[in-house]
Homo-oligomer: A and B are copies of this chain.
Amino acid sequence: MSNVAADPETAEEDRLNRAFAALSDPLRRKLVARLAQGDATVNELAEPFSVTLQAISKHLRVLEDAGLITRSRDAQRRPCHLDSQALGRLTAWLEGYRQAAEERYSRLDALLASQEDPS
C-alpha cells in the first residue's frame, strides 16, 4: 500500500502527479492563495468556507502529500506553510515545454515569412 515510488525517476513523476492533482481542486487552490499571504492554522483556513473542518483537514493532507505545504506544531495548532520552491518546480516543468513549443512556432513563423518574401 506504499504510495511512495522507490525509483527516483518515478518518484519525481509521482510528485508531479500529486502536485498537479492537488491544484486541480478550486478549494485547494484557494487554500494555496490564502497561504501565500502567510502561514495559518486549520481553523483559520476553514473559516471562509462552508464545508466541515474535516474536509479542510483532508485537503491540507493532500497538499502536504504533494509537497506543496509543510506543517509545524504550536500547542494544539498545526500551522500550514506554503512551500514556494514546490510551486517553482511546477513552473519549471511547464516553462520547459512552453518555451520549446514557442521556439518552434517562432522558427516556423520565420520560415513562412521567408517563403512569402523570398527576396
Query: Which chain B residues border A26 with CB–CB below 8 Å?
Result: 13, 16-17
What is the chain B residue whose CB lies nearest that of A95? B91
Q: How many residues of A contact B (CB 8 A)?
A: 34
With an 8 A cutoff between CB atoms, is A45 at the interface? no
Q: Which of A51-93 contact B (CB under 8 A)?
A: 82, 84, 87-88, 90-91, 93
Copies in the complex: 2
With an 8 A cutoff between CB atoms, is A1 at the interface? no
With an 8 A cutoff between CB atoms, is A8 at the interface? no
Give per-residue flags for A82-116: 1 if the beta carbon is below 8 A from chain B beta carbons, else 0.
10100110110111111011101100000000000
5 A-B pairs within 8 Å (CB atoms) are namely A21-B21, A33-B97, A84-B97, A88-B98, A91-B95
